[in-house]
Amino acid sequence: MATGHGALLALSGGVGGAKLALGLAQVLPAQQLNIVVNTGDDFEHLGLTICPDIDTLLYTLSGRGNKSLGWGLEGESWNAMEALESLGGDTWFRLGDKDLATHLWRTELLSRGVQLQQVTTELAQSMGIASNIFPMTNDSVRTTVICDEGELPFQHYFVRRQCEPRVQGFRFDGIDTATPNPGVEQLIMDNRLDAIVVCPSNPFVSIDPILQVPGQWQAFAQCSAPVIAVSPIVAGMAIKGPAAKMMRELGMPATAQAVAAYYNDLIDLFVFDRQDQQDIAGEERPHLCVNTLMVTRSDRLRLAQVILDYVVEFSKR
C-alpha cells in the first residue's frame, strides 16, 4: 500500500466479516491486517468455551473453512455429535470432531490462566495465519438477546432457535467492566493505522459489542485514519443472518441507509451495494456504491481493492 504505515484494522463478526478479512489479507501483506473480533457471542457449552466468531476467522483465514456448510471445518466428521445424540445430550450446536479440538485446547489454555489473546495468537500461528487477530477484550462479555418471549443467550437465539423469536433489544453482559484489547489500543496510539474497516457483519450483535467496549467507539471515531463501513444490508436483505429481520423488529427500516445512520459519526465512508443505487440518491454521507457481494474469491479481492484504493486516495488529501 502506498500510504503511511500500511496497517489496517478490520472490525469483524463471523462469516461476512471473515470473507472481507480474507480479501484484505490477500491484497495487503497479511501481517499488515489486524482484525478485532466480536466475542459477545462466545459461550460456555458442554464444558467448553466456544468463540464462534474467532473460529470463523481462524478457519477462513487459514483456508480450512467448510465452504459447503459456510461454518466449521472442511473435511469434518461428526462422530462425537452422533455419540452425544445417542446419550441424549444437547446436539443443537453442531461441533465437528476436528472443530472440537479447537474448543478443547482453548478451554484448557484458558483454565491454565492464559489470556484469550494469547490463546488466539497460538491457534492462529498453529494454523499458519500471518494476520493479527484481536479478541475485542480478554474479559468475558456475553450477548443476551431480549426477545418478546424473554431473554435468550445469543447462541440459543441464533442457533438453537434459528433467530425465530422477535427481538426487542440486546444486552452485553460484562461489557461495562471489560477492558479493550491492549493490542488494539496500541495500534491506535502508535498512529500506525491507515484505515479502520467495519466489515459487513451484523451491526447489532457483531459490531456493536466491539464498539461498546468502554472507550472503543471514541477511539475508532477519533482515530486519524478513515473509518470505512461496508453495508451488511443489500436491497433490504441481510446477505447472511438476521440483521434485516432485527431491524424490522426494532422498528428501523431494513435498509443500508439505516445502517449508515446507525454508525453515524463513527464512520467517514459508507460502502453501499450497487443494487441500492436508486435508493441512495439523497445520501449526503460520503459513500461509495459498488458490488459488495462476495460469492467468489475474485469478488472478495475486488471489494478489498476498492477499499484500499479509497484509503490511498484519502491519504493524499
Name the residue among 162, 173, 166, 171 with its Cα closest to residue 147. 166
Our CB check for a second copy shows the closer of 88 and 251 to be 88
Cell readout for 145 is 438477546
**Residue 44 is a binding residue for a second copy (CB under 8 A):** yes
Candidates 3, 105, 249, 286: give the one binding a second copy (CB under 8 A). 105
> What DSSP letter does each residue of 5-42 carry, written as one string?
S-EEEEEE-SHHHHHHHHHHHHHS-GGGEEEEE--TT-
Q: How far is CA 213 from CA 33, 105, 141, in A?
A: 21, 26, 9
Q: How far is CA 74 from CA 42, 52, 60, 99, 299, in A?
A: 22, 16, 10, 10, 21
Region binding a second copy by CB under 8 A among candidate stretches 8-16, 75-83, 129-137, 171-179: 75-83
**Residue 86 is a binding residue for a second copy (CB under 8 A):** yes
**Residue 45 is a binding residue for a second copy (CB under 8 A):** yes
**Residue 74 is a binding residue for a second copy (CB under 8 A):** no
Smallest distance from a second copy to CB 138, Å: 18
**Residue 101 is a binding residue for a second copy (CB under 8 A):** yes
Candidates 1, 16, 23, 103: give the one binding a second copy (CB under 8 A). 103
Smallest distance from a second copy to CB 98, Å: 4
**Residue 126 is a binding residue for a second copy (CB under 8 A):** yes
DSSP 156: I
**Residue 104 is a binding residue for a second copy (CB under 8 A):** yes
> What DSSP letter does each residue of 190-247 carry, written as one string?
TT-EEEEEE-SS-IIIIIHHHHHSTTHHHHHHHSSSPEEEE-SEETTEESSSSHHHHH
C-alpha 24/C-alpha 272 separation (Å) is 18
DSSP 159: I
**Residue 111 is a binding residue for a second copy (CB under 8 A):** yes
Our CB check for a second copy shows the closer of 49 and 257 to be 49
**Residue 107 is a binding residue for a second copy (CB under 8 A):** yes
C-alpha 251/C-alpha 254 separation (Å) is 9
Our CB check for a second copy shows the closer of 86 and 224 to be 86
**Residue 108 is a binding residue for a second copy (CB under 8 A):** yes
Our CB check for a second copy shows the closer of 24 and 124 to be 124
Cell readout for 99 is 472443530
Contact set with a second copy (CB under 8 A): 44-49, 73, 77, 79-84, 86-90, 97-105, 107-108, 111, 122-123, 126-127
